[in-house]
């Protein structure tokens, strides 16, 4: 009788998001309850990271932890749940102190409200891509870059509407690009790289638990 050396068996094909692996899909009311819980949890994660705020004296837009949380929530929950989580966050922040630094209000009345709108397609896009295999290296970084770019489109459009004609005198930044984009590129790169590392690390950890050694004997 010979004993074979234990070898890991490749884990089965994993679902498109970490949330689906951690909380396996069920049927009927349980599935609906699970999805609602994930959407609410995602919105609260973004609200928590929004409290990390670093004001910049030359622009009305602060540095926050929101971008990291938005990208991470999208990758964790997938397309439609990620988008819904950020839509819920926009509604929550209208009544509760969930926006940057404990702020609240209707997003269309805030100079940085366009970024809050942009969080929705950003999370949805990242989640949609992750559900299609972009949640592993090296594609995860590309997904995060695309999601990060998506949030700037409505963000810059709305910010431009709020900037006064004498913006240089009011905020010491010459235009919408200097007020709402250029100062944040370096920080956003750090945040999206952190999110890009967190997601594959989560998959690697779960892959390790999913692998089972074969200890059979002949």
What CATH number is attached to the domain comprising 150? 1.10.1760.20
Q: Side-chain half-sphere of 145: how many Cα atoms within 13 Å?
A: 7
In the structure, what pLDDT confidence band is assigned to residue 8 with cuts at 50, 70 and 90? very low
How far apart are the C-alpha atoms of 100 and 158, rounded to whole Å?
17
In a domain, 130, yes or no: yes
pLDDT at 67: 94
In a domain, 212, yes or no: no
Mean pLDDT comparison of 1-5, 7-11, 85-89, 199-203, highest-scoring range = 85-89
Contact (Cβ atoms closer than 8 angstroms) between residue 60 and residue 171: yes
Pick from 152, 163, 47, 57: which is nearest to 104 by CA? 47
In a domain, 165, yes or no: yes
In a domain, 1, yes or no: no
Structural domain span for residue 176: 11-207
Cis peptide before 146 (omega within 30 of 0): no
Domains in the chain, number: 1
In a domain, 214, yes or no: no
In a domain, 5, yes or no: no
In a domain, 4, yes or no: no
pLDDT per residue over 105-126, tens digit each? Answer: 999 999 999 999 999 999 999 9
């Amino acid at each position: 009788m010979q004993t074979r050396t234990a070898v890991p068996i490749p884990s089965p094909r994993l679902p498109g998001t970490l949330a689906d692996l951690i909380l396996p899909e069920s049927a009927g009311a349980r599935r609906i309850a699970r999805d609602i819980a994930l959407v609410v949890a995602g919105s609260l994660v973004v609200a928590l990271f929004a409290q990390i705020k670093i004001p910049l004296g030359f622009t009305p837009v602060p540095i926050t932890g929101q971008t990291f949380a938005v990208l991470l929530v999208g990758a964790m929950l997938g397309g439609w749940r990620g988008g819904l989580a950020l839509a819920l966050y926009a509604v929550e922040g209208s009544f509760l102190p969930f926006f940057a630094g404990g702020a609240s209000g209707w997003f269309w009345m805030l100079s940085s409200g366009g970024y809050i709108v942009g969080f929705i397609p950003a999370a949805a896009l990242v989640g949609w891509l992750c559900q299609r295999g972009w949640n592993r290296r090296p594609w995860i970084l590309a997904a995060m870059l695309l999601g990060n770019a998506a949030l700037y489109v409505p963000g810059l459009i709305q910010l431009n509407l709020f900037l006064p004609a004498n913006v240089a005198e009011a905020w010491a930044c010459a235009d919408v690009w200097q007020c709402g984009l250029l100062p944040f590129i370096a920080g956003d790169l750090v945040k999206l790289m952190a999110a890009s590392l967190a997601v594959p690390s989560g998959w690697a950890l779960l892959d390790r638990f999913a692998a089972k050694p074969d200890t059979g004997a002949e």
